[in-house]
Amino acid sequence: MSRFYFTAIFLVSFTANLVNGDDYYQPFPLGIVKGKKRTTITGVSVYSFQGIPYAEPPTGEYRFRSAKPKEPWTDILDATQERSFCLQMTSDTVAGSEDCLFMNIFSPKDPSSSPNLPVMVYIYGGGFIEGTSEDVNIGPDHLMNYDVVYVTFNYRVGPFGFFSTGDEVIPGNYGLKDQLEAIKFVKNYIQYFGGNPEKITIFGQSAGSASVQYQLLSPKARGLFRGAICESGSAISAWAYQSNQTEISYLLASLLNPSLKNASSTEVYQYMKQLPAEQIDRAAHIIQKMEKPSDNQIQQGFYFAPVIEPEHDDAFLTQSMFRMFLLGTFNTEVKIMVGVNSEENLFYVSNMTNLEQMATEITADSSILIPRGLQANESKKAEIANKIKEFYSPYLPFSLNWRSLIKYFSDQSFARSLIKSAELQSRWTDVWFYEFAFHGVLGGYTEESVDGFSEDVRHGEEMSFILRRNYGGLNTTDLSKYPEIDQLVQKRVITMWTNFAKYLNPTPEPTELLENIIWPTVKPEDFKYLAIGSWLEVKTNPKLDMYMFWNEIFYTYGAQPFISW
């Protein structure tokens, strides 16, 4: 039965939504889904549809291949609960399933009334090697107060999403291609769930933020969304690109079968595609445990991460990310919000043993400090490493000054690349930059406040001010339980984020809530940004000394064209 014939049949015979108790039935061109209606703690209705397949299962012949659009179904699809998340290579036991390309959609308005609301599509983080869209952990409840449709989805991570032989046999980037397929699904069908397909904003945090920037870069994503919010991650971040992916992929293959160490890429593919998914997942977990300070993933690239593909019809990305931002060959019609937290890598405080080990090893071999993206000349490495050490800790070795080491990692992994990406993008489109510097109870990491840090907002704290969080001992379902200042900052943040989705401007007009601030866009020669703390303040040139230092290092010692920064 063709898709068009099936669509005509059900639209004739099922022209109205049926509500039975909390069940809610919604027809759209692929079939009928049964969702549910619930009410948030603040009394707002939520029409939720969970576990909708947006693509065919990426199993069997479709392993290490781009996701295929979902074909129509004939039975009513139960979309009242989560479906499986993707396999997690970081887990000590097998967690998830290879059949995992599912989407969750939440609307505060009855879809049958065609509310035509702005749409916010969230891409989760996890270093491209883990992560899920599970509503039980990260939920839409607070966004429902602001009249937007919220969408999140699973995409392949680890080897299933980013294994690559470096050629057209297994070119890689399947996780990014899953994201692309999901965004296409939203563009095509969100009108049936209360959303406006012309008002789609994609947003993400950490690797989800880097993913948003990758979608900005891919020609295949052009025209699918109009806004992009990037929180603490860039496509040019050191960890968001793996320059040695072919080597790592062959290591994985040889762990599964030693004879594949020198095999052709075709032989690798033929062997790998027939293995049980759990075997591949467990071999990847062995690689995960191989990490050491000299090969720190967050500094040198996650073991399974995006790559630059060879030219072919299905390629997602074939050029340097840095160069595309520099030359304006990305999707410049999209408006962008991007930002950083004040001390991203403060999370290292939760594992002081590991931090002290890194400090000791860096003291013994300071070349570890040199980012891979610099592509530095071997003869200059000692000189470069010494300059970096002198900038961050001129009087003490890092083993006696781990606070400075944390600042180095915050700059190296996040701040430097986020500021650079905003500067480059601002030459071609409107960009708003922020620094989140409010360290409240709602952020969930108050135990990591450290004496000696004036900037103590770690990676991920801002997410509790946007989405309902229920993990890590923190439950933000009832915001009234938190201090008044936390509640105020939360209202400001979520207002600016949803304003951007609605108007492509986080502060379209002065309001008392936002202290009558008008948040200016970045200009390459006049870098204004918004500091978000207990109050809002427009400032100039975020982390200027650090940024100027790394500019000098890259342009003096780096080999161009750059890929990451």
pLDDT above 60 for 21: no
Higher pLDDT, 39 or 292: 39
Q: How far apart are CA 259 and CA 272, in angstroms?
A: 13
Lowest mean pLDDT among 351-360, 414-423, 463-472, 475-484: 351-360
| pLDDT reported for residue 351 | 79
Q: How far apart are CA 340 and CA 206, in angstroms?
A: 10
| Phi and psi at residue 378, to the nearest 5° | -55, -40
Confidence of residue 15 (pLDDT cuts 50, 70, 90): very low
| pLDDT reported for residue 8 | 43
DSSP string, 353-407: HHHHHHHHHHHH-GGGGS-GGG---GGGHHHHHHHHHHHH-SSS-GGG-HHHHHH
Tokens of 32: 């009928």
Mean of the per-residue pLDDT values for the chain?
93
Let me know: does 48 contact 36? Beta carbons within 8 Å. yes
| pLDDT reported for residue 248 | 97
Half-sphere exposure of 521 (CA within 13 A, CB side): 16
3-class DSSP string for 8-63: HHHHHHCCCCCEECCEEEEEECCEEEEEEEEECCCCCEEEEEEEEECECCCCHHHC
Let me know: does 102 contact 62? Beta carbons within 8 Å. no
For the chain, list the domains and their CATH numbers: 3-199+209-226+236-300 (3.40.50.1820), 334-557 (3.40.50.1820)
pLDDT above 90 for 137: no
